[in-house]
Each structure stands twice: as structure tokens, then as C-alpha cells.
Structure 1
């Protein structure tokens, strides 16, 4: 029996070759992919231009607003060399940032993609000081301790007041934490960074957790337990909330695919983050 290879043109013309079912299936696959692509394009969001704020008061930030403020991250620089190394990147200077970025996910202004916050004031605070927003432009080595809350530094070493389990309790503004218990960035760069794994035994595991050994999975599960223990002190406060999932992911709220899609899980008619 001879074999024939179908190309795209043939799949769109089933009656011509007398095998309509196979061609219809092929056409259906293409239409499905096209529909997915269109949906993602619609969900991408409208570009929002960057705003340089010289004074928060001048912009009316002191007024009561129904606002959703997203604080971005970007890691730390820990000495003059690493801080200077950032100065020509978006993590070291606002001059190097994109002048317009798309607001999607939790920042989307479309109800179908962000039903809970689409009509809120949506603010994304960009990050470029390498010191968790405590840096000082007057010096490369700013001595961030003086910009940390005294309510924390008076009780603990200033270095500890950079960490959420010690810092979050000092925050008086309403705040909601969304994070993965198996945060992929933390596992790759904190639990098993390359410098601590010279033989690369974690490389395949970090790329795909299906490749992890039982020992590596146990280490990740222990990491999760430590994480949950660290944030446990913030429960019970009416001004603070959290959603911690078990995804192997990072930065979930800004991506439409992990914030809200048509097939997202639903709990009591409320959409959840993708699991």
C-alpha cells in the first residue's frame, strides 16, 4: 500500500483527494491554533507608557484611591562592582527601561481577562535600585539600613529587615501576597544555584521537575515547608492576605496565561490562578 504525505494546501481541500475526515481533522487543528493565537493577542493588553514621578504628593498619591499597585522585583546588588554592573540595564536605570509595556493579567483593563480589578487604578512600580527600593541615587553604596523601617531595625539586624518574614509585618498598607510555594526562580537561584552545584546535578531537574530525583524532590518539598513557615506569621491580620499555590512557576499575576484564561480552575464560581 502506498503512503502519501499531506501538506497544508491538501488539508484545506478534502473533497479533492477523497479523504475528507482526515483533512477535516487537520483543518480543525489549524483553526484551534488560530483561535488560541487570537485569544492570546486579545489578552496581551494595551501598551502603557512609563511615568517618571518626581513627587508622589504632586501626582495626588496621597488621595484615597481604589488602586492595585504591583511592586516589581529584580534581585539585589551587594557591592559596588555588582551595583555598577547594573547601571546600563533596566535593573540599574529607568533610562534603560522600555518606554511602554503591555498591561495584562492582573493589570488588564478588560473585564473578560481581569474581572476583579479591570476598572481599578492599576499601577506598576518599576524596579532599578538593586536594593528593594531602599537605594539612594546620591551614592553607589547607599547604606540602605537608614531607609529600612526603624520598627524592624530597632529589634533585628538591618540585614534581616530585607526579608519578607521580618519586613511584611511592619507594612501598614493592605497587601496581598501571590506566590508559588515551589517558586522556579528561587529553586534555580537560591535552593540550587549553579555556584553551589559545580557538577550540574540539578540542571535537568531545574529545567523540568519531571526529571528530578527523589532526593531533589524531597529538597524542594522541604523548601516549601520552610517558605510556608516563614510567612505563617502574617496570617490572621485583616490587612494582609495571600494565595500560595503549588505551581513550579514565577511571577504569575502579570501573565494572562497564569492569571485568568477560559479553562482556569474555578472554586465556588471564583476563578483561581492556574494550577
Structure 2
């Protein structure tokens, strides 16, 4: 066999393998919402917003989950410029996402919500879906339009039939979890009173706290509010009672959310500990990624965070419509990961999935906190 023939055979084989490669069924392509551009609902860099959607079927055909992606925020003009050149500031850099955890279509891995209509909204505004600055500065061409993206996405889903839902959930993780709290009542207003509408915030309970924690976390959100001009857009139920710079912290927002809300949290949030709690003098290194990589000093700092979480949660009014699941995992984000959704640690002998389902379907309330005073190693890898 000559080299030319061998090369043709190799190319044919590679072509066959590529054409027949199985794409995992949990990977879903993004759709660019081009119609939103005319409404000014665009990412930081001016690109169209994006979402991924899986249509429901069978008993889930009239039920909806809308999941708002997280990914922090930008706190300054330069921070936002840098963000606009990456995934969380544009729709140019990725074309698919994973539908796992509460978005999974495998009934063995997501027994209560697998066949619902499921929506994943790409986060590309850096303002927890809240900004709405009309003018675009020609010197940087940044567009701060998170609120418009939220509204454009809701219009798109209503066009797909979401307004006729029997059951509906607004959810999100991290910054998306905070946005869930901020938009929860707005989401409820999209539906008739006959629809069961509830919200699930995952790892979105960013703490203001007191003392050193407040001195670090307070300026973070104050800078976000200033950069994105959110002062007039934050809930007036909060800004009318306190400094508006506090009104991105859930501990000051939740008391005025009338729609049933479930908080999924950990007492050892790895993101908050690193960015808002640990002393600047302490190097964190690989401890951010793995509890096994933390030294004794870092473990002590992690353990000191738990009493602050519990104290802050205890300040909230004991609404019977509010669910709470607080585990002891050292991580950030639970429900949109296959590993933590299916293998979460038990809290009061109940899995996270079961607790959320029982609360959502009005079978029983759930307001429980794991009593383990030490952080736990929990699975947190995606497929």
C-alpha cells in the first residue's frame, strides 16, 4: 500500500469516527436570541444574549424550570472591559452547556424534574441580571443591560408557552442564585394565580455580616452597584429602609420576597471564604480547589465561617413558605451539578433532591441545617 492510499484510508476512518461520535445527551447547544438586540438586551460586549432549552414532555410538558447561570460580577469599568472579552461577558465564546443536576433529562438522576421544560440562561452582563444603562460609552463600547436580558428571556419563554405552566421554578447558582432572589417576585407575576410558582436559590446567599467580613464584603457590592448604576433598580422595599449599598445582600432582601423561596447553601462556602472572609495576609493556593489541600491554618479559617452563616440565617423571619437546606460541603454550587445533585450528603436523613421536591410539591416543609461543625469533602465534579 502506497502512502497516498494509506492517507486516504486514515482520513476516511477519521471522518467516520467524527461523524459517528456520540454527543452526550446532557450537552445542549446555546441559541442566540437575536431579536433581543433591537431591544438593547445584549451582553457586555454588545453580542446577543443566549440560552439553551429542552422541551418538556409527558407529565412534564406543562411544567417549567428556568435556571439563571452564575459567574460573579464586575466591580469596575476595567473589570467589566476585561470580562467583556470572555465567556461571562459575551456570547461569542461558547456554543453549548451541560444540563445536569436539576436540569438533567435522565429520570434515574433527576426523578422529579427530568421531563420538564428546562431553560438555561447564559450570564453575560456582570450585574446579576440587574443593570439597565441606556447610553453606551463610545470609548469602551460596553453595554450594561442585564435587566433587559432577563426581560427578553422571559418574553421568549412566554412565547414558547411558559405562561400556561401548571408548575414553574426560577432558579440559579451563585450570582444566578442571588439574581433568583432579586427576580423571584417578578417571575411570579408572569403567571396566573393557579400556577404553582416557587424559586430556588443555590449558593446565592452572599453574606454581609459584621466586623471584618462586612468591611470586605460591603465594598464589593457597593462597587458593583456604582459601576452598573443599580441604585434606582434595587428593590425599594430594601432601599427605603437602609443604605442602598446593602441591598444586594440577601439577608436584607429575603424578608420582602413574598413568593416561596428555597435556599440551598453550605456552611462552608469556598467562594465566599476565599474572596470575602479570609485575611488578605493568608495565601489560599490549592485550598480553593480541594479541602484535602488545605493546611491546619486554612481549615481553622474555614471553620470560623460557619457560625457567621448560621447567625445570619437565624436573623431571617421563620416564614413557613421558605425552605432551607444547609450542608457542610466545602464547595460553591450544588443543584446544577450531577455529582452533588445525586450524591449530596444527607441533612436530617434527607437528600437535597428529596428536600427540594417535598417542599416544592407541598408535601412537607424543609428548614434544616447540618450539625457538623467541620467542613466535609463532597463530590463536585461535572460529567
Which interval holds the TM-score relative to the shorter structure? Answer: 0.5 to 0.7
Q: CA deviation at 1:272?
A: 3.9
Alignment equivalent of 2:100, drawn from 100, 104, 110 = 104
Q: CA deviation at 1:208?
A: 3.9
Structure having the higher Rg: 1
Tell me the SS of whatever aligns to 1:182: strand
**What residue number does 2:111 align with?**
115
Q: State how far apart, in whole Å, the 2-side matches of 1:211 and 1:177 are.
A: 28
Q: Per-residue CA shift, 1:197-226, capped at 9, x if unaligned?
A: 3x63x3354454345454433322221111
Q: TM-score, normalised by structure 1?
A: 0.67
CA distance change for structure 1 residues 103 and 223 in 2, over 3 Å: closer, same or farther?
A: same
**What residue number does 1:132 align with?**
128
Tell me the SS of whatever aligns to 1:246: strand
Q: Per-residue CA shift, 1:29-88, capped at 9, x if unaligned?
A: xxxxxxxxxxxx9986141433537489xxxxxxxx633332322212122111122112
Q: CA deviation at 1:149?
A: 0.7
Segments ≥4 residues shifted beyond 6 Å: 41-44, 266-269
**What residue number does 1:167 align with?**
253
Q: State how far apart, in whole Å, the 2-side matches of 1:238 and 1:217 are.
A: 35
Structure 2: any 5+ residue segments left out of the alignment? 1-21, 42-61, 136-141, 143-226, 354-377
Q: CA RMSD in A?
A: 3.2
Contact map agreement 2:327 2:347 (CA 8 A) in 1: no
Q: Per-residue CA shift, 1:249-270, capped at 9, x if unaligned?
A: 1222111111115xx6668995
Aligned residues: 220
**What residue number does 1:176 align with?**
262
Alignment equivalent of 1:66, drawn from 63, 68, 74 = 63
Alignment equivalent of 2:291, drawn from 206, 209, 212 = 209
Residue 218 (str. 1) matches residue 218 (str. 2): no
Q: How does 1:86-101 map to 2 (within 5 A)?
A: 86-93=83-90, 95-101=91-97
**What residue number does 2:214 align with?**
none
Q: State how far apart, in whole Å, the 2-side matches of 1:87 and 1:211 are.
A: 32
Residue 85 (str. 1) matches residue 171 (str. 2): no
Residue 257 (str. 1) matches residue 357 (str. 2): no
Residue 228 (str. 1) matches residue 225 (str. 2): no
**What residue number does 1:152 align with?**
238
Residue 45 (str. 1) matches residue 26 (str. 2): yes
Q: CA deviation at 1:246?
A: 0.3
Q: State how far apart, in whole Å, the 1-side matches of 2:268 and 2:131 are.
A: 29
- More displaced stretch, 75-84 vs 122-131: 122-131
CA distance change for structure 1 residues 270 and 229 in 2, over 3 Å: closer, same or farther?
A: closer
Contact map agreement 2:73 2:126 (CA 8 A) in 1: yes
CA distance change for structure 1 residues 150 and 210 in 2, over 3 Å: closer, same or farther?
A: same
Q: Per-residue CA shift, 1:167-220, capped at 9, x if unaligned?
A: 223333332221222112222222237xx13x63x3354454345454433322
Q: TM-score, normalised by structure 2?
A: 0.50
CA distance change for structure 1 residues 92 and 119 in 2, over 3 Å: closer, same or farther?
A: same
